Amino acid sequence: MDHITLNSQQLDVVSRAHDPVAVRDESGNLRGYIAMVITDLQLADARRALASQERRYTTGEVLASLRSQGTP
Q: What pLDDT shows up at residue 72? A: 60
Question: Do the Cβ atoms of 24 and 34 come closer than 8 Å?
Answer: no
Average pLDDT over residues 53-57: 91
Spell out the SS3 assignment of 8-59. Answer: HHHHHHHHHCCCCEEEECCCCCEEEEECCCCCHHHHHHHHHHHHCCCCCCCH
Question: Does the structure show a pLDDT above 70 at 60?
Answer: yes
The model's pTM is 0.48
The ranges assigned to domains in the chain are 8-68
pLDDT digits (tens, 9 = 90+) for 1-44: 788 899 999 988 888 888 899 999 999 999 999 987 788 888 89
Q: What pLDDT shows up at residue 71? A: 61
Q: What pLDDT shows up at residue 38? A: 80
